[in-house]
Amino acid sequence: MDPRRVLEFYLLAGADESIGETPRNRYAEEGGERRSDRDSAPERAEHARPGSAPSPAHPTPRPIAARAPVPPGGGDETETETDAPVRTAVGLAAASSTLDELHRALESFEDCALKQTATNLVFGDGGPDARVVLIGEAPGADEDRQGVPFVGQSGQLLNRMLASIGLERTDVFISNTVFWRPPGNRNPTTAEIAACLPFVERIVELVDPELLIALGGAAAKSLLGIVESVGQLRRRWLSYSTPRLARPVPTKVTYHPAYLLRSPGQKRAAWHDMIEIKRKLAEL
Ligand code: URA
């Protein structure tokens, strides 16, 4: 078969990264089967993020960093496979007292599998004194190449959305639920999101913004633990808090720019959200 056709097939199937030069049969490796269990377990636990209660009555669940620490050495038979990475992340994030320190801590963090396939860490973009923090879902190919969030097509739209209410990129801090591009732009898994969440929370604490914006359902679910459609969530102001934030941060969920590019009919609603955000900022 023409190798070009094979490559085209791989690309269509979303396999656009070369990870190794020789094939590796992970099923034949010791623990291989367990690994596939591990990969699917977080999916089954999709709506059961530790410490979160996906209920509209509790829009601000306990943040992951506030969970009771697990004693060193384990002893906890119910410990899940995601707990160790999360514990490491919580420790690194808590020990960082500036964004630069947090960035460096993240560079040293090895417990998110996405790091192995990504070209660059995509930490965030913006100033430490930003009035607004925006959290998207995950870096794409352009972001992976440049190491900067929202620089591709959805980034261009996001820039226009911000400009429509008088905000420049330098007025905001932008990051994502995960800091490395998922291969083939697949959705990040629950385990990957959980491992990155303590760093995302710490970004919000360190910037201490007046307002938080979750771009899309994945960001809303990760930050707030709420599983509801963006169409529902965007209709009300929510509030985000962590033990280290001096006060809860008013939070708006709105459509992800990539979704708006696919569904331009929703741009009108997103425009209304931007007006509401502008109004809120004027009040604060
Ligand atoms: N989409 C995201 O969610 N984040 C980015 O950084 C780019 C595109």
pLDDT tens per residue, range 14-31: 566 565 666 666 566 544
Q: Is the CB of 140 under 6 A from ligand 1?
A: yes
Q: What is the pLDDT of residue 32?
A: 38
Q: Is the CB of 149 under 6 A from ligand 1?
A: yes
Measured in angstroms, how far is the CA atom of residue 258 from the centroid of ligand 1? 8
Average pLDDT in the chain: 83
3-state SS of the chain is CCHHHHHHHHHHCCCCCCCCCCCCCCCCCCCHHHHHHHHHHHHHCCCCCCCCCCCCCCCCCCCHHHCCCCCCCCCCCCCCCCHHHHHHHHHHHHCCCCHHHHHHHHHCCCCCCHHHHCCCCCCCEECCCCCEEEEECCCCHHHHHHCCCCCCHHHHHHHHHHHHCCCCHHHEEEEECCCCCCHHHCCCCHHHHHHHHHHHHHHHHHHCCCEEEEECHHHHHHHHCCCCCHHHHCCCCEEECCCCCCCCEEEEEECCHHHHHHCHHHHHHHHHHHHHHHHHHHHC
Q: What is the pLDDT of residue 253?
A: 98
Measured in angstroms, how far is the CA atom of residue 90 from the centroid of ligand 1? 23
215, pLDDT greater than 60: yes
Q: What is the pLDDT of residue 8?
A: 76
Per-residue CA distances from 196 to 5, 201, 267 (Å): 37, 9, 30
Measured in angstroms, how far is the CA atom of residue 137 from the centroid of ligand 1? 6
Q: Which of ligand 1's atoms lies nearest the C-alpha of 149?
A: 6
Quickly state the pLDDT bin for 6 (edges 50, 70, 90).
Answer: confident
Q: Does the pTM of the predicted model rise above 0.85? A: no
- Residue ranges per domain, the chain? 61-67+81-283
Nearest partner of 102 among 220, 204, 242, 233, judged by Cα: 204
- Estimate the crossing angle of helix 83-94 against helix 190-207, to 10 degrees: 10
pLDDT average, residue stretch 172-181: 98
Q: What is the pLDDT of residue 149?
A: 98
| Superfamily for the 61-67+81-283 domain | Uracil-DNA glycosylase-like domain (3.40.470.10)
pLDDT average, residue stretch 125-130: 94
Pocket test for ligand 1, best of 221, 223, 256 (most atoms within 8 A of CB): 256
Measured in angstroms, how far is the CA atom of residue 5 from the centroid of ligand 1? 30
195, pLDDT greater than 70: yes
Q: Is the CB of 180 under 6 A from ligand 1?
A: no
**Which range among 80-84, 120-124, 135-139 shows the weakest confidence by mean pLDDT?**
80-84
133 DSSP β-pair partners? 173, 212
Q: Which of ligand 1's atoms lies nearest the C-alpha of 256?
A: 3
